[in-house]
Structure 1
Amino acid sequence: MRALRILIVLVVILGGLFVIADRVAVHFAQGEVADKVKARENLSQTPDVDIKGFPFLTQVAGGSLDDVEIGIKGFTTPAAANGASIRIDDLRADMQDVRFSGDYSSATAARATGTATISYDELMKAAKTEPTNLGVFTAQVAGLSYGGDGKLKVAFKVSVLPKPVYLKSSLAVEGNQLKITADGLPKLGALSIGESQIRSVTDFRQAINRLPGGVQLDQVRATPDGLKITVKGTDVKLGG
């Protein structure tokens, strides 16, 4: 009986030591992954990395990790064709089936999904905020905000009207671009002007170039806090 108690105590102690070693190893690995992602994506801040699953050491021994979550507080995309870059806030990506290279210098996730936010102030960079000559008057986008039901509210300012006209616009993803399209034309009273001219101001696009790891835009919707985008990808690089 005494021998059994000693054996149980030893098992508990060894188990505790294994857990401690496992947690120390995962903490170190999270730091290494964070540094590699920061260097690869040229980030100004070190991202948050959370390696899921237990035990970690057995996953490493198998050459892959089941689930790695990465959070980037702020990421500025490379400049688009119009010369404007855009800041993406709180990008969070869930990487699954992460496999290491032979020398463990890099890692690739078989698939990834994530979310991020773009503020309305940032999106204004893509809109025509300067007065645009439409012939009988000038027009511009004076503001963007949440319009309810996942729609964007656009303040359309016309030089000959005392107040902006408000429109609701739909959002869509086309390739690497966010597409903003007014649901209907603004009512401008007795003013007469072609639809294409008005839409040259109300409708616009914003390119989102080279997201971290090569993930791609998936969906977009407007919320009270800004545009919420979802991203996805396969064979996503974490570093190296």
Structure 2
Amino acid sequence: MRALRVLVILVVVFGGLFVAADRLAVNFAEDKAAEKIRGSQGLDKAPDVSIKGFPFLTQVAGRSLDEVDAKLDGIRTSSEGKQLRIQELSAQFHDVKLTSDFSSIESAARATGTAHISYADLTKAAGADVEIGYAGQKNGNGQVKIVPRLAGLPALNSLEVTGTVTVVDRTTIQVRADHLPSLCLSLPGCESKVRERTDHSWKLDRLPGGLKLDRVEASPDGVKISASGTNVKITG
């Protein structure tokens, strides 16, 4: 019995040491991955990275991780010199492969992600001559309210139109007014002037892992983005 107790104690002690070493290793790996993602995305601060699965050291030995999650904030893209800021991007990478020297995360078999763009950031990116907000739902789909400022067209100073946010080619977010009032359509050059302010697009080609856009949805607190990818490269 005494020998059994000693054996149990040794198992517990060495098991505890293994768990401690495993957690130290995973924390180090998470910090390294966060710095690589920060550099590749040009972020002001490192994202939160979480490596799932236990034990980590066993996964490393096989050069494969079950899942790596990353939360980023402040990704920016530009169009015609105007920057669009993406908030709260959360990405999940599954079946992750490590480089041959175990120094870096290389790729993932599949990935999913969600993100959020506030109407304040969308308005700022659209320029000084327009304001974008939420307009409720139509046929079950969220709509945006677009208020252009039209200098030189006093008859349309109070113009307000509804628009749709869509994904183009899985890379681009597009905001477009659905219809313009008949008064505008009857004035020479009015439609082009209005659409210069109401219609915008931004190419999101720097999402982590090369994620591709699946859908966007206008909601009361901003535009929600869903993205995914297969055989994606996580860091540069």
In structure 2, C-alpha distance between the alignment counterparts of 1:128 and 1:101, rounded to whole Å: 43
2:82 aligned counterpart, secondary structure: coil
User: Are 2:145 and 1:153 aligned?
Assistant: yes
What displacement does 1:40 show? 2.2
Contact 1:64 1:99 survives alignment (8 Å): yes
Gaps in structure 1 of 5+ consecutive residues: 131-140
Moved more, 164-173 or 20-29: 164-173
Report the structure, 1 or 2, having the larger helix content.
Answer: 2
Match of 1:108 in 2: 107
Contact 1:36 1:238 survives alignment (8 Å): no
Q: What is the aligned counterpart of 2:83 among 57, 73, 85?
A: 85
Match of 2:118 in 1: 119
Alignment root-mean-square deviation, CA: 2.4
Relative to structure 1, the CA distance from residue 116 to residue 165 in structure 2 (aligned partners, 3 Å threshold; closer, same or farther) is same
Match of 1:214 in 2: 210
Moved more, 155-164 or 88-97: 155-164
Relative to structure 1, the CA distance from residue 127 to residue 239 in structure 2 (aligned partners, 3 Å threshold; closer, same or farther) is closer
Aligned residue identity for 1:73: D
Match of 1:225 in 2: 221
Moved more, 198-207 or 93-102: 198-207
Ranges of 4+ aligned residues in structure 1 off by more than 6 Å: none
What displacement does 1:63 show? 0.8
In structure 1, C-alpha distance between the alignment counterparts of 2:91 and 2:149, rounded to whole Å: 38
The alignment covers a number of residue pairs equal to: 226
Match of 1:70 in 2: 70
What displacement does 1:229 show? 1.0
In structure 1, C-alpha distance between the alignment counterparts of 2:22 and 2:63, rounded to whole Å: 16
In structure 1, C-alpha distance between the alignment counterparts of 2:34 and 2:125, rounded to whole Å: 31
Relative to structure 1, the CA distance from residue 52 to residue 105 in structure 2 (aligned partners, 3 Å threshold; closer, same or farther) is same
* TM-score after normalising by structure 1: 0.83
In structure 2, C-alpha distance between the alignment counterparts of 1:19 and 1:161, rounded to whole Å: 72
Contact 1:126 1:206 survives alignment (8 Å): no
Contact 2:173 2:202 survives alignment (8 Å): yes
In structure 1, C-alpha distance between the alignment counterparts of 2:83 and 2:175, rounded to whole Å: 17
Contact 2:83 2:125 survives alignment (8 Å): no
In structure 1, C-alpha distance between the alignment counterparts of 2:46 and 2:177, rounded to whole Å: 38
1:116 aligned counterpart, secondary structure: strand
Relative to structure 1, the CA distance from residue 25 to residue 47 in structure 2 (aligned partners, 3 Å threshold; closer, same or farther) is same
* TM-score after normalising by structure 2: 0.84
Gaps in structure 2 of 5+ consecutive residues: none
What displacement does 1:57 show? 1.0
Moved more, 103-112 or 93-102: 103-112
User: Are 2:178 and 1:177 aligned?
Assistant: no
Match of 1:98 in 2: 96
What displacement does 1:199 show? 4.3
User: Are 2:162 and 1:168 aligned?
Assistant: yes
What displacement does 1:90 show? 1.4
Q: What is the aligned counterpart of 1:205 among 198, 201, 207?
A: 201
